[in-house]
Amino acid sequence: MRKKSNFIVLLIMLILFCSYQINGKEETRTIQVVMDDNYPPYSFRNGNGELQGIAIDQWTLFENKTGIKVEITAMEWSLAFESMAKGEYDVIDTISYNEEREAFLDYTTAYATIEVPIFFHENIAGITDIESLKGFTVAAKKGDNSIYMLNRNGINNIQVYHSAEEVVTAARDKEIVIFVLGKPPALYYLYKMGIEEDFNYSTSLYTSQFHRAVKEGNTTLLNDLNAGFSKISKAEYENIDNKWMGTANSSVNNSKVFKTFMIFIAITSSITFLLLFWNRTLHSKVVEKTMELSNTIEELKKSEARGKALLEAIPDTFFLFDSEGKIMDYHTLQVESLYVPPEAFLNKYLHEIFSSEYSDGFIAAIREAISTNQTTTIEYELLIQDVMRQYEARFVSCDQERVVAIVRDITDRKKAEEKLIDIGIHDALTGVYNRYYFEQELSRIKNSSLNNLYVGMFDLDGLKLINDTMGHEQGDTYLIATTEIISKSFPDTSVISRIGGDEFCILLSNISEDDISQYLKNLSEEIDKYNLVERIIPISISHGYVFNKKSSMDILEMVMQADNRMYRQKLHRRQSMKSEVVQTMKNMLEARDFITEGHASRMEILAVQLATAIGIPEKDLADIKLLAQFHDIGKVGIPDHILFKPDRLTEEEFEIMKRHTEIGHRIAESSIDLLPIAEFVLKHHEYWNGRGYPFGIEGIEIPIECRILSIVDAFDAMTNDRPYRKALPKEVAIEELKRCSGTQFDPTLVEEFIRIISS
């Protein structure tokens, strides 16, 4: 009995020990972190492509403090943000707060404050705040919080780049002149590329804070992050910051104290020295005076050296003239850039070197500088080494007899100014004048009296349909083509402006009505020529105009009347044009998708048979026939490499393919002929069990027309050849319909369809 009780005690102890071993063993956690890989000094790659920076070091300390394993992935910021939004990572770092992101993210305590200024080229003035950006193209990093801030304040003309380095590289290459970027990475790359002096920056556009963020509602992980990073001491944070940002040189203050002390010692010593040697002989005083003279000479030499260094640091060229225009001296760092070599102009008068066109202007500036004792500035052009260059000369009087001219090459500045002016008055897409210039031109015409004035309004028909069907890139192509057609049809003296998304206006004076007839004939011929090349959507341009012979009508009234006439023509031709476009799309789809040749006709026969068998009225059969012909019209908007891919589509490709129902729906809604079947085109890929697309509706919620079409579509596809397989026997196709009955297909309709084709 005693042995038995001892055994039980040992057994209990063994169980407790094993339980402790099992429960005491901690499970190592791993969290996946994603961040920007191009945001120095917080996260960026070294020359070997290895990730480094403040954020990386902080995560390393977090890992050591908490025991939680951290796996960091860094990539282009917009991709990092998209990956987090898709739920591929647990945490996103180097992110700023805004209201849109708050909808699906929860944020940790902020750990860094980031100033975000406006950077602009040194030749641009007047950039002070976000309002002053209106009218300019502003560069920014894709997915960055700055884009949200710009859009919220009405700045929509934004050029997007993939990273901070790409933004600054574009600035270096003069592709852009204004950009908005976090101050740390912006200054890092400006200095790295050696263009820090080419760009100024404003006070902060806004100040944001860096956080780490988790998926909304993941409070456990959020609390763990806040708790883990709070374990890092202030000293440890400062060590990391000092490592990447450097430390202030505290020895400066010490050196000032030391200098003050040394000056005090020197003064005290001097006084003591004077008291002790007051009774020195005259010889000692002579020695002292000699030393003072030597020091003065030395100071003069130093002053001369400083002046020389200063001159060499300034890139401008200096000329010294007398009051009559004689060149007495010069200084330049680039002798090869001079109009003539020094030996050809030194001690010579300006009229001996330049023609009177130049020399008279220079001498007038010299005399004005002397008489007014103020700086006189002139600009001029010179042909230097077969290149016309522009210069600015500032004349400053030294006295009544001499004048210094400071000459600067301003060619690059002038080109930049001209480019800015050009950007300000031209449409970025088409290259014709923009609405701003158009309105300025209207004001000019309003205040003048132009006879025989033509005002023509033009509108690209169906742009919305083109954008919805084939995408905005194709829409842009059509807009550019419209510009080219109009430009070829009218003379070079025409003022052509793009005044809206699809609207253009032409202003042309001193012409006759016969001229107008010829120009409109040219327009019609150019449109026909463009449409000779088979296109999914032929180009069509509506037009209305007003011709005023004797400037009796106000220009604004002319524009309004021309616009009204254009819209009347547009309304008159809109429906016939859209029906023609839809039929053209169908023909193009059949020609393009040779795989399905005859597919629509066979489907029409089968669909009508099934619809009749289940009692659908005769009057509704027309819609079913139309649906059989046009259900896949949206495939005109699907790229060929996806539409004709013989292999299985990837997930991303399938998502693009699924868009054909929505594209088809938009096409059908735009045509009065197809409007009755627009809903059926949208829903013809819905499944009986609710797993179809685009809505996932199920059962009898799916229109009966769509349920009929899905069965006959599948049957015809299986029983006809495809590039990737031969046609299946009828019996095999019937078995497949049975297998999918109740999941993909309406079981009642499947049973009736099998009865029809079996008989």
CATH number at residue 515: 3.30.70.270
Asked, for residue 94, whether it belongs to a domain, the answer is yes
Quick one: pLDDT at residue 248?
54
Asked, for residue 679, whether it belongs to a domain, the answer is yes
Which of 6-10, 235-239, 689-693 bottoms out in mean pLDDT, i.e. has the lowest?
A: 6-10
Residue type, 675: L
Structure tokens at 150: 């710009």
Asked, for residue 78, whether it belongs to a domain, the answer is yes
Identify the CATH number of the domain in which residue 667 sits.
1.10.3210.10
Residues 647 and 545 in one domain: no
Reported confidence tier of residue 547, pLDDT bands at 50, 70, 90: very high
| Residue 331, strand partner residues | 318
Q: What is the pLDDT of the chain when averaged over all its residues?
A: 85
Residues 225 and 345 in one domain: no
Residues 6+ apart with CB under 8 A from 176: 137, 139, 159, 167, 170
Asked, for residue 292, whether it belongs to a domain, the answer is no
Per the structure, the complete domain to which residue 57 belongs is given by: 30-129+196-245
Residue type, 208: S
Reported confidence tier of residue 447, pLDDT bands at 50, 70, 90: confident
Burial of 663 (0-12, 13-18, 19+ CB in 10 A): buried
What is the tens place of the pLDDT at every residue in 390-421?
Answer: 999 999 998 888 999 999 988 888 888 877 88
Residues 557 and 642 in one domain: no
Residues 633 and 715 in one domain: yes
Asked, for residue 152, whether it belongs to a domain, the answer is no
Q: How much of the chain, in percent, has pLDDT values that exceed 70?
A: 83
Structure tokens at 42: 């917080």
Residue type, 492: D
What is the tens place of the pLDDT at every residue in 278-297?
Answer: 656 555 564 565 566 556 65
- Structural domains in the chain (count): 4
Quick one: pLDDT at residue 252?
42
What is the tens place of the pLDDT at every residue in 189-236?
Answer: 999 999 999 999 988 788 889 999 999 999 999 999 999 999 999 999
Residues 647 and 733 in one domain: yes
Residues 604 and 519 in one domain: no
pTM higher than 0.85, yes or no? no
Distance, CA of 575 to CA of 667 (rounded, Å): 12
Asked, for residue 330, whether it belongs to a domain, the answer is yes
Residues 471 and 396 in one domain: no
Asked, for residue 96, whether it belongs to a domain, the answer is yes
Residues 6+ apart with CB under 8 A from 43: 35, 36, 37, 51, 52, 53, 54, 55, 56, 74, 93, 94
Asked, for residue 335, whether it belongs to a domain, the answer is yes
The kind and range of the H/E element at 56 are helix 54-66
Q: How far is CA 361 from CA 377, 378, 403, 695, in A?
A: 11, 8, 15, 78
Residues 232 and 371 in one domain: no
Peptide bond into 694 cis (omega under 30): yes
The kind and range of the H/E element at 395 are strand 387-397
Residues 325 and 370 in one domain: yes
Which of 379-383, 470-474, 476-480 bottoms out in mean pLDDT, i.e. has the lowest?
A: 470-474
Identify the CATH number of the domain in which residue 365 sits.
3.30.450.20
Residues 563 and 604 in one domain: no
